[in-house]
Amino acid sequence: MEQFAHISVTDAWEKIQQDDQTAVIVDIRDPQSFQLSHPQGAFHLTNDSIVQFTQAIDYEQPVLVMCYHGVSSQGAAQYLINQGFEEVYSVDGGFEAWHRQDLPVESGVSSFNQ
């Protein structure tokens, strides 16, 4: 994959639930929005956490990138592709669409334990 792909929120949730390689969802929204509510199990990917993320993740694991509405995630997804991640998706509609579909959310800080 030389470029990221697009994925709907429902397909993203299914991929997280069913993927043999344990898909990872990352949320790139601001810290306040992330702490208020984010997809269940999401890692808060920021400029400060990118090194931790790249050290903890197998570059072959699918990565699902989420922002507010599915626009900013596209740039972040392409960045991850350029860093060598093999399977990266931008979640269409972002957290707004995730929330509208009533998919699982949680609040608080990231508890990334891969």
Q: Please spell the DSSP secondary structure of 12-34, one letter per residue.
A: HHHHHHH-TT--EEEE-S-HHHH
Provide the CATH number for the domain around residue 36. 3.40.250.10
Is 18 domain-assigned? yes
* Beta-ladder partners of 14: none
77 three-class SS: helix
Q: Is 113 a catalytic residue?
A: no
Is 55 domain-assigned? yes
Number of separate domains in the chain: 1
Predicted confidence at residue 103, as pLDDT, reads: 96
Predicted confidence at residue 29, as pLDDT, reads: 97
Predicted confidence at residue 94, as pLDDT, reads: 98
For residue 100, what are the domain limits? 5-104
Strand order in the sheet with 5-7: 5-7, 88-91, 63-66, 24-27, 43-44
Is 114 domain-assigned? no
pTM for the full predicted model: 0.91
Residue ranges of the chain whose pLDDT lies below 50: 113-114
Predicted confidence at residue 114, as pLDDT, reads: 40
Catalytic residue of the set 67, 76, 91, 97? 67
